[in-house]
């Protein structure tokens, strides 16, 4: 245990979020993580779990109150959903589209804005989990259009946090995890959770103190918006 920095990981019950919790805990960070259900059985023992559905404003408020005495070096909003498998804008119901945009774009940024005062000035990193599919430059043929549009919306709403993060001299990251073997990424994905999570945590370290808003992947590759 060489490092006692503190992290808050939002949406960490499984997949990449839980992987990032594992990597941080192994590196000696004190980790608080959120889940909608019970704490995951595979959680490192040192992790503190709190309940949060990011779509519930009362739950965001309660989580902020519960954490108000703490200060973090990293807040990472990882929670996300894929939306309807068919990804067809004509077949998707209005409710499916609203839920997708709420969960992937509006609620992550509302959550980040709510918790932002809990970040340590200057050294703090505020990160949101996006996807390279969000980018008109990287995703020229609109692969998975509904999901990708929700992450594009996330990127722009995250940019709206820049004034506030600059006031606190924080670094704002929009991060792409690679294609990862999770419930969302599927078995054919190219990366294990451990590979992606290790790279993501390396980027949190690399960008600490830089300021600004950066769009990077788990391996440190700069992506075009
Ligand atoms: N896997 C990939 O290849 C890939 C690629 C690019 C980007 N991403 C992004 O990476 C993030 C993690 O993806 P993953 O592959 O690890 O997916 P996953 O295994 O499906 O995990 C999604 C996580 O988000 C949580 N979540 C969903 N809705 C939530 C809500 N309303 N409130 C709180 N938590 C919520 C889930 O909690 P529950 O267990 O309660 O459902 C779960 O912990 C997502 O933002 C995803 O879009 C993934």
Q: How far apart are CA 133 and CA 151, in angstroms?
A: 8
Whether residue 179 has its Cβ less than 6 Å from ligand 1: yes
Residue 8 has pLDDT above 90, yes or no: yes
Q: How remote is the CA of residue 47 from the centroid of ligand 1, in Å?
A: 19
Beta-carbon contacts of residue 223 (< 8 Å; ≥ 6 apart): 132, 135, 138, 176, 215, 216, 217
Q: Are 156 and 102 in contact (CB under 8 A)?
A: no
Q: Ligand 1 center to residue 99 CA distance, Å? A: 14
Question: What is the average pLDDT score of the chain?
Answer: 97
- pLDDT tens across 185-213, in order? 999 999 999 999 999 999 999 999 999 99
* Distance from the alpha carbon of residue 194 to the mean position of ligand 1, in angstroms: 15
**Has residue 10 got a pLDDT over 80?**
yes
Mean pLDDT across 102-131: 97
Which pTM does this prediction carry?
Answer: 0.98
The CA distance from 142 to 99, in Å, is 20
pLDDT value at position 203? 98
pLDDT at 1: 44
Asked if residue 39 has its Cβ within 6 Å of ligand 1, the reply is: no
Write out the H or E segment, with its range, that includes residue 100.
Answer: helix 94-101
Ligand 1 closest atom vs CA 11: 34
Tens of pLDDT, residue by residue over 61-103, are: 999 999 999 999 999 999 999 999 999 999 999 999 999 999 9
4 pLDDT tier (thresholds 50, 70, 90) = confident
In percent, the amount of the chain with pLDDT more than 90 equals 98
In the predicted structure, residue 2 carries a pLDDT above the cut 90: no
Residue 3 has pLDDT above 60, yes or no: no
Is the per-residue pLDDT at 35 higher than 90?
A: yes
Whose C-alpha lies nearest to ligand 1, atom 44? 80
- Give the bridge partners for 180, in sequence order: 191
Query: Which atom of ligand 1 lies nearest, measured to the CA of 56?
Result: 31
User: Closest Cα to residue 82, out of 36, 174, 181, 148?
Assistant: 148
For 66-93, b/e burial (b = at least 16 CB within 10 A) is ebeeeebbbbbbbbbebbbeebeeeebe
The Å distance, Cα 78 to ligand 1 centre, comes to 6
34-43 mean pLDDT? 97
Q: How many CA atoms lie within 13 A of 44 on its CB side?
A: 20
For residue 195, give Cα distances in angstroms to 9, 35, 142, 181.
18, 22, 26, 10
Tell whether ligand 1 has an atom less than 6 A from the beta carbon of residue 11.
yes
CA gap 73, 208 in Å, rounded: 9
Q: What spacing in Å lies between the alpha carbon of 41 and ligand 1's midpoint?
A: 17
């Amino acid at each position: 245990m060489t490092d006692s920095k503190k992290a808050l990981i939002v949406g960490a019950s499984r997949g990449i979020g839980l992987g990032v919790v594992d990597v941080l805990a192994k590196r000696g960070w004190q980790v608080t993580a959120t889940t909608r259900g019970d704490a995951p059985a595979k959680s490192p023992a040192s992790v503190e779990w709190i309940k949060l559905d990011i779509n519930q404003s009362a739950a965001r408020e309660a989580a902020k109150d519960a954490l108000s005495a703490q200060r973090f070096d990293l807040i990472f909003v990882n929670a996300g959903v894929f939306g309807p498998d068919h990804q067809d804008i004509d077949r998707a119901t209005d409710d499916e589209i609203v839920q997708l945009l709420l969960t992937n774009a509006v609620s992550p940024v509302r959550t980040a804005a709510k918790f932002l005062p809990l970040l340590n000035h200057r050294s703090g990193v505020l990160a949101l989990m996006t996807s390279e599919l969000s980018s008109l430059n990287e995703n020229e043929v609109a692969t998975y259009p509904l999901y990708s549009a929700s992450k594009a919306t996330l990127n722009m709403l995250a940019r709206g946090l820049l004034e506030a993060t600059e006031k606190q001299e924080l670094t704002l990251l929009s991060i792409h995890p690679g294609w990862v073997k999770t419930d969302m990424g599927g078995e054919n994905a190219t990366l294990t959770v451990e590979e992606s999570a290790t790279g993501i945590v390396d980027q949190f370290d690399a960008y600490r103190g830089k300021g600004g808003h950066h769009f990077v992947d788990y391996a440190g590759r700069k992506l075009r918006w």
